[in-house]
Amino acid sequence: MKTLKLRIKDKHAGQLNILAGAVNFVWNYVNELSFKHLQRTGHFFSAYDLAAYIKGAGEYLNLHSQTLQAITETHAKSRKQFKKDKLNWRTNNPKAKRRNLGWIPFKKTAIKHLATRQSGKKSLKTTLQLSLAKGQKLIIDLWDSYNLALYSINTCELVQDSRGNWYACITVKEFPKTVCGTGQVGIDLGCKESAVTSDGDVLTTKLTHKYAEKLAIAQRAKHKKRVRAIHAKIKNTRQDLIHKFTNTLVKANNLIVVGKIKSKSFTSTNLAKSVYDAGWFEIKRQLDYKCKNAGCHYIEVNEAYTTQTCSCCGSRQDSPKGRADLGVRVWFCSSCQTVHQRDVNGAKNILAVGLDRL
């Protein structure tokens, strides 16, 4: 399965906010009911048990019966996942101290794809029909960057972001399938450059520094809407850059080797901001699922001494070492008379470890 995230047109926001309030009402009722049952009997309600108590409520809340079932299933799953007797209350009141973002789930039987048509020179617009109570229908328009007509829709969740924009998160069967290439590549993750490949390709995602001045001005002016917009711009741009980088790698290679590095190891140092900006976890996450979809081999290896070792002769005599030499980006190996770019050399050694050549 694959999840596609499509932007919903703003003209539907008012109706979706009302439905989100009804979903929160059901969630809070189920949450309280489940907790009281636990106090009385010492046993948890399952999603099937909870469904009996909300049967017919959709008629008054204008929610489809499948939506009510999806709420109870999500509640039971979340309670088990977080190991809590009682979950947090949900509210979409803008004046509340802890406001929850909107969420409306739909199952397959309540979703119908009506049409996908051209909107402008390059973009597509898709119309979906979602079932509500008493045979009522909710028709929404989406900006479609995937051509939803090519996919078989499974489930759909309408979600809201911090700026009040609504999105449709649609799970589909993975079609069409990406075909991987025939090459082999190693990737060295870093702070200055988020990722450098053994072929010399570079991914740079230092966006926080780029927007730091604008963000500081908005924060000093206490312009919350502008602050949220800048953070969204940083996040979306970083995601776009990483998607383009990982797509290129998967289409060109059948083996991708990445150095095993954890962000937590650096978050307590003065490099924390750069590490968060680099997006190492997101790079590895995208490579993982894209390689599975394309049939490409993806492995993570121990990158110890890969930066200090010459990728040609294996010597460590002239290489930069430790934090003191982090600023040294190019070095010369006197053993084999080779000039190395630090990150590219590390990526080549990471690939060699993946191929069991070191």
- Domain identity same for 280 and 301: yes
Predicted pLDDT of residue 357: 53
Question: What is the tally of structural domains in the chain?
Answer: 3
Q: Verify that 150 and 189 share a domain, yes or no.
A: no
The Cα-based distances of 331 to 109, 320, 324 in angstroms read 62, 7, 14
Position 177 in a domain: no
- pLDDT band at residue 71 under the 50/70/90 scheme: very high
Range of the domain at 68: 13-98
Query: Peptide bond preceding 105: is omega within 30 degrees of 0, i.e. cis?
Result: no
Does some domain include residue 178?
no
Last residue of a domain, one of 120, 148, 172: 172
**Residue 193: per-residue pLDDT:** 84
List the structure tokens of 212.
């730091």
CA distances from 338 to 190, 226, 332 (A): 23, 50, 6
* 182-205 average pLDDT score: 88
Whether residues 6 and 18 share a domain: the answer is no
Shared-domain flag, residues 63 and 134: no
- What integer best gives the mean pLDDT of the chain? 87
pLDDT at 93 over 70: yes
Decide if 214 is inside a domain: yes
Tell me, what CATH number does 330's domain have?
A: 3.30.420
- Residues with Cβ within 8 Å of 332's Cβ and at least 6 positions away in sequence, in order, are 318, 338, 339, 340
Q: Both 158 and 264 in a single domain?
A: no
pLDDT of residue 358: 45
Instruction: Say whether both 257 and 224 belong to one domain.
Output: yes
Q: Is the residue at 300 inside a domain? A: yes
pTM, two decimals, is 0.76
209 and 71, same structural domain? no
